[in-house]
Amino acid sequence: MGTLSKEKISFLKQKAKKIRKNVVEVLSQTSGGHFGGALSAADILAALYFEVMKIDPKNPCWQDRDRFILSKGHISVAKCAALADVGYFPYEELLASYNKLGSPYGMHEDMTKIRGCDMTAGSLGHGLSAGIGMAIAGKHDQKDYRVFVMIGDADLQEGSTWEAIMAAAHFKLDNLVCIVDRNQIGVDGFTEELMGLEPLAQKFQDFRWQVKEIDGHKMEEVVATLKAVPFAKGSPSAIIANTIKGKGVSFMESNHHWHFGVATKEQAEAALAELEKGI
Amino acid sequence: MEKVANPVQAYAKALIEVGGQDERIFCLTADLMHPFMIEEFALKYPDRFFNVGVAEQNLMGIAAGMATCGKIPFVHTYTPFMTMRSCEQMRTDVCYPCLNVKMAGMCSGINMGVGGATHHSIEDIAILRAIPNMTLLSPADPIEIGKAVHAAAKHVGPTFIRFGRIPAPLVYEEGSNYPFEIGKAITLREGKDVSLLATGLMVSRALAAADLLAKEGISVRVINIHTIKPIDQSAIIKAARETGAIVTAEEHNIMAGFGAAVAEVVVENYPVPMRRVGIEDTFCGLGPTEEMYQRWGLTAANIAQAARDLLKSRSAAAKA
């Protein structure tokens, strides 16, 4: 694994910053949105779309592309910000129409409406199974694309996700990567108080996955780990990315009230200022 | 003695045929390879066969993912589990993006009599009808199951095939070449006094009911509605207009089921008196299948009686 240049890391950090700012800009225009989880996932999204994934924004249906499924579909706004920035559609379109009647862009995502969206999402616990289907199809067709599935803590509280975790190892899908955006917080508070998931890495290992645990905000580590998949031939790869809900905005960080929140004009301005200069 | 055939065997034979014709067809099941008799597919096309164990939600999600890559997965599990355990995956992952997944639901109705309510399915038509983009096929006999499989393989979009498990009476001749078109009902017998509209296994019973009624001088039209969604509105309206009375027959709860679907069309277009034969909103306990059909009113005699009652009330109303 080659190390990335300082310029490249700096570029990806700028892209992550842009995703965060765009998330705040889009959501603060509406009657509320999922700020916390969108901000926690931004670094990973930047790494995927601007460095790791083999994609062609001019040809969203390219059969050999890497796939990305956002199982935590409620942060579609962050993914759409990335899709726009990488060239699938103009950001202005997202900003102008988000959550509006008939818009392709909104709280959750519809693959038939959003260019570059590989799977419809919104209900938790669905994404990993769909990813298995794509991974099996890829193996069958002898294609070398990878399938990246981002799940949130809450996806792991759904039983269906564990059905998929069991099956992915059974089918030896080393073209499947599950990224856990482990921000530790759900709607009602901390996952470990609500319904504990730990020891999570051990659980994945016990289900015969290869697992790496990383700091989901340290860009060098995020990219290096994503580029190191599969961690072992014949096994699916899990990346538990420890993240901070609301990352980058002081009053949103680690605060479950910002899982879904409504930002006032002042709060939105403060958030954008903090994101710009860094906290 | 009426001829019978095994619906599952007919299904499996057709699946092998379409699987041989189209390499995009995959076969998925949740630990029900043997009950579905799809071992031959597994042996012949092992790279297109996946058994996910007893995990129906995962089963349906995997099928959706495959379909996004241009595959045509045929998903196999019992109807109660398909429509209820993996209902949300079916609705959200398959039907919402209108993916090309085929769902083979066995043990529909009370066909697995001794299985009891856990293995009966008297709710699936209600559930499936309410999901946009879904096509729901309910073939009349094993011959038509084969035709439904071929039609489903060609049709683009989510398609559910509802059928039973035990040997079923043949409505059609072996090797029959009649045209089967999704959404187009088939008039099996012409008549002018009353129309019997039936689906699935109840089609053969409707024909037997028509025989009983013919002996009493009642002229009965029998229509096989093998596609419950989209339903053939014009055939229903024509039957209402030309016979003035409709009896429906289904192996399902009469609430929100097939008869209700027919009633929607009748009431909005050409209101005529109706009766619905089916399970009257109750769980059915358990027992040998044929005894169950007797107990819960799903016989030819029940259909004939519903027709007589309907004609009687119609003539009473006409006199009043």
Question: What pLDDT does A279 receive?
Answer: 76
User: What is the nearest CA distance from B42 to chain A, expressed in angstroms?
Assistant: 15
Count of domains observed in chain A: 1
Reading the block at residue B292, the tokens are 């169950």
- The answer to whether position A100 is within a domain reads yes
Q: Chain B contacts of A63, Cβ < 8 Å?
A: 69-70
Question: What pLDDT does A2 receive?
Answer: 58
Which of B47, B88, B92 faces A140 most closely, judged by CB atoms?
A: B47
pLDDT for A85 beyond 70: yes
Contact A261, A36 (CB under 8 A): yes
Nearest CA in chain B to A136: B66
CATH number of the domain that A34 lies in?
3.40.50.970
Q: Chain A contacts of B97, Cβ < 8 Å?
A: 110-112, 119-120
Q: Which tens digit of pLDDT belongs to each residue from B270-293?
A: 999 999 999 999 999 999 999 999
Contact A85, A91 (CB under 8 A): yes
Contact B108, B298 (CB under 8 A): no
SS3 A178: strand
Put simply, whether A33 touches B (Cβ < 8 Å) is no
Sequence-ordered list of residues with C-beta below 8 angstroms from that of B15, at least 6 positions apart, any chain: B25, B27, B38, B41, B74, B104, B149
pLDDT: which is higher, A244 or A4: A244
Q: Which tens digit of pLDDT belongs to each residue from A173-187?
A: 999 999 999 999 999
CATH class for the domain made up of B186-319: alpha beta
Q: Per-residue confidence at B34, pLDDT binned at 50, 70, 90? A: very high
Q: Chain B contacts of A149, Cβ < 8 Å?
A: none
Nearest CA in chain A to B93: A120
Contact B157, B179 (CB under 8 A): no
Reading the block at residue B274, the tokens are 């109706």
Sequence-ordered list of residues with C-beta below 8 angstroms from that of A224, at least 6 positions apart, any chain: A1, A3, A4
Q: Chain A contacts of B71, Cβ < 8 Å?
A: 133, 137, 140
**Other C-beta atoms within 10 Å of A119: how many?**
28
pLDDT for B300 beyond 90: yes
Q: Report domain extents, chain B.
A: 4-169, 186-319
pLDDT for B320 beyond 90: no
- In sequence order, what are the beta bridge partners of B279? B253
pLDDT for B106 beyond 80: yes
- In sequence order, what are the beta bridge partners of B27? B49, B74
Query: In which element (H, E) is residue B56 found?
Result: helix B56-68
Contact assignment for B92 to A120 by CB distance below 8 Å: yes
- The answer to whether position A34 is within a domain reads yes
- In sequence order, what are the beta bridge partners of A261? A33
Contact assignment for A112 to B98 by CB distance below 8 Å: yes
d(CA A57, CA A91): 14
Nearest CA in chain A to B98: A112
SS3 B140: coil
Question: What pLDDT does B26 receive?
Answer: 98
Q: Which tens digit of pLDDT belongs to each residue from B118-177?
A: 999 999 999 999 999 999 999 999 999 999 999 999 999 999 999 999 999 999 998 889
Q: Which tens digit of pLDDT belongs to each residue from B189-200?
A: 999 999 999 999
Q: Which tens digit of pLDDT belongs to each residue from A132-181?
A: 999 999 999 999 999 999 999 999 999 999 999 999 999 999 999 999 99
SS3 B229: strand
Contact B243, B191 (CB under 8 A): yes
> Which CATH fold would you assign to the domain B4-169?
Rossmann fold (3.40.50)
Contact assignment for A133 to B92 by CB distance below 8 Å: no
User: How much is the average pLDDT of A20-44?
Assistant: 97
- The answer to whether position A138 is within a domain reads yes
Q: Per-residue confidence at B114, pLDDT binned at 50, 70, 90? A: very high
pLDDT: which is higher, B177 or A62: A62
Contact assignment for A120 to B93 by CB distance below 8 Å: yes
Reading the block at residue B297, the tokens are 């009113």
d(CA A273, CA A262): 17
Put simply, whether A141 touches B (Cβ < 8 Å) is yes
Which of B65, B67, B88 faces A132 most closely, judged by CB atoms?
A: B65
pLDDT for A1 beyond 60: no
Q: Chain B contacts of A167, Cβ < 8 Å?
A: 52-53, 55, 58, 62
Put simply, whether B27 touches A (Cβ < 8 Å) is no
User: How much is the average pLDDT of B73-101?
Assistant: 98
Contact assignment for B58 to A137 by CB distance below 8 Å: no
Determine whether A202 is exposed, middle or buried from the number of CB atoms within 10 Å of its CB (0-12, 13-18, 19+). Answer: exposed
User: What is the nearest CA distance from B133 to chain A, expressed in angstroms?
Assistant: 13
User: DSSP class of residue B93?
Assistant: I
pLDDT for A55 beyond 90: yes
Question: What pLDDT does B12 receive?
Answer: 98
**What percent of chain A stands above pLDDT 90?**
97
pLDDT for A107 beyond 70: yes
pLDDT for A67 beyond 60: yes
- The answer to whether position A86 is within a domain reads yes
Domain holding A135, by residue range, is 6-277
Put simply, whether A134 touches B (Cβ < 8 Å) is yes
Question: What pLDDT does B1 receive?
Answer: 59
User: How much is the average pLDDT of B185-213?
Assistant: 98
